[in-house]
Copies of this chain bind each other. A is one copy, B any other.
Amino acid sequence: MNPLLFTSETSSNGLRERDFTVGEVPGVLWSPASGAAERAPLILMGHGGGNYKKHPAMAGRAQRLVTGCGFHVAVIDAPGHGDRPRTAYDEQEIDLMQEAMASGKPVGPIVVRYNDHLAELALPEWQATLDALQELPEIGAGGPVGWFGINMGTAIGVPFVAAEPRITAAVFGQHWPDTLAEKAKRITIPIQFAMQWDDEHIPREAGLALFDAFASQEKTLHANAGRHKELPRFEADSAVRFFARHFGPAVARPA
């Protein structure tokens, strides 16, 4: 097993930020700046396509989860993203997506295919990362572990969560059912799912079909008016409360 190696550490705003690697995969672990010795739940976050582990959306969610609930939050760069090299296949798919976007052609079939490929590579990376994170005394094995990933974070998260019994609550959203619905049918943990009611890329019926596919007894759909990129900021707070509800806030008051 590849150990987790910390490569740098900073602290600000109550947030301890540690860069790490597990094998070739670079990641970041955000933790409460104080009380680092106490065990707390862990939230794994999957970033969006074209994005990276410390994108402001990731850092913002981490801030809420860490200072609001006292949780640990970890993100790794997806294959071909952030500090990781792109393959010729990555470049080709990205070109095709940009072409489709520019010419107004449907981008869905390309995103579905490319994200499915990335999910296959990412799944063992996430499993190794979770193994390594659970070796840390402040996380430990057997504690609550959540998944929080929208867009590509759902394309990677659904197969990962379907295969990973250590994850006991998850927030997903904004993807197509084509390759994911079959895996969603194997997921029975509580989930929350975000979609945009007027998504210009993901047809409404497709979003609803993916939500419908989850076998979870407790599942909640949050559909907001607006286009693909207009997911409201308050959905980040809502996700934090979802995890606080299931994992109990280490700190009583979510941000």
**A220 CA to B233 CA in the complex, in Å?**
12
Is A114 part of the contact surface with B, judged by Cβ < 8 Å?
no
CB-CB < 8 A to A197: which residues of B? 212, 219, 221
Is A163 part of the contact surface with B, judged by Cβ < 8 Å?
no
CB-CB < 8 A to A223: which residues of B? 211, 220-221, 223
A window 180-231: CB within 8 A of B: 197, 208, 211-212, 216-225
A225 with B217: CB separation less than 8 A: yes
* Shortest distance between the CB of A27 and any CB in chain B (Å): 31
CB-CB < 8 A to A212: which residues of B? 197
A234 with B245: CB separation less than 8 A: yes
**A196 CA to B199 CA in the complex, in Å?**
22
CB-CB < 8 A to A220: which residues of B? 222-225, 232
* Shortest distance between the CB of A237 and any CB in chain B (Å): 8
* Shortest distance between the CB of A233 and any CB in chain B (Å): 10
B221 with A222: CB separation less than 8 A: yes
Is A253 part of the contact surface with B, judged by Cβ < 8 Å?
yes
**A171 CA to B229 CA in the complex, in Å?**
24
CB-CB < 8 A to A225: which residues of B? 216-220
**A226 CA to B216 CA in the complex, in Å?**
11
**A237 CA to B220 CA in the complex, in Å?**
14
**What 1/0 mask marks residues of chain A from 85 to 115 whose CB sits below 8 Å from any chain B CB?**
0000000000000000000000000000000
A window 8-49: CB within 8 A of B: none
* Shortest distance between the CB of A70 and any CB in chain B (Å): 17
Chain B: which residue is nearest A212 at the CB level?
B197
CB-CB < 8 A to A253: which residues of B? 253
Chain B: which residue is nearest A223 at the CB level?
B221
CB-CB < 8 A to A241: which residues of B? 237
Q: Can you report 27 A-B residue pairs in the complex whose CB atoms are below 8 A from each other?
A: A197-B212, A197-B219, A197-B221, A208-B208, A211-B223, A216-B225, A217-B225, A218-B224, A218-B225, A218-B232, A219-B224, A219-B225, A220-B222, A220-B223, A220-B224, A220-B225, A220-B232, A221-B221, A221-B222, A221-B223, A221-B224, A222-B222, A223-B223, A234-B245, A237-B241, A238-B238, A253-B253
Give the 6 A-B CB pairs with smallest separation, nearest first: A221-B223, A219-B225, A220-B224, A222-B222, A217-B225, A218-B225
Besides the contacts A197-B219, A216-B225, A234-B245, what 7 more A-B pairs have beta carbons closer than 8 Å? A211-B223, A218-B224, A218-B232, A219-B224, A219-B225, A220-B224, A238-B238
